[in-house]
């Protein structure tokens, strides 16, 4: 991800991630704190990337996101990873 990320938020994506007990700030932090890129998929002709990253309080999240309006990162969904995914993320990060 770029050094200075600009995000595209509206009531729809804020409410969606809130259903997963994730805040807007947590999703942003997970993408700003050197996330691991897990690949991408095409959904309705839109490229969506999946990243795993951590918040400033070390909560590990999986975030699905896309690019909108040319340069804005739009979070599609975000949720806490499983215990196994968290272990793998931490092993990878510590091993760097």
% of residues, the chain, pLDDT over 90: 80
For the entire predicted model, the pTM comes to 0.90
Q: Examine the pLDDT at 95 and tell me if it is beyond 80.
A: no
Q: Examine the pLDDT at 3 and tell me if it is beyond 80.
A: no
Helix (H) / strand (E) element for 60: namely strand 60-68
Q: Examine the pLDDT at 92 and tell me if it is beyond 70.
A: yes
CA–CA dist 11, 19 (Å, integer): 12
Give the tens place of pLDDT for each residue, 20-51: 999 999 999 999 999 999 999 999 888 999 99
Other beta carbons within 10 angstroms of residue 59's beta carbon come to 17
CA distances from 82 to 25, 51, 59, 92 (A): 20, 14, 11, 15
């Amino acid at each position: 991800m770029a050094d200075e990320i600009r995000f595209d938020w509206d009531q729809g994506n804020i409410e969606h991630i809130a259903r997963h007990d994730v805040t807007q700030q947590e999703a942003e932090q997970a993408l700003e704190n050197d996330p691991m890129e897990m690949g991408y998929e095409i959904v309705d002709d839109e490229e969506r990337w999946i990243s795993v990253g951590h918040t400033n309080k070390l909560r590990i999240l999986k975030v699905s996101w896309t690019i909108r309006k040319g340069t804005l990162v739009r979070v599609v969904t975000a949720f806490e990873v499983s215990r196994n995914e968290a272990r793998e993320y931490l092993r990878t990060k510590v091993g760097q």
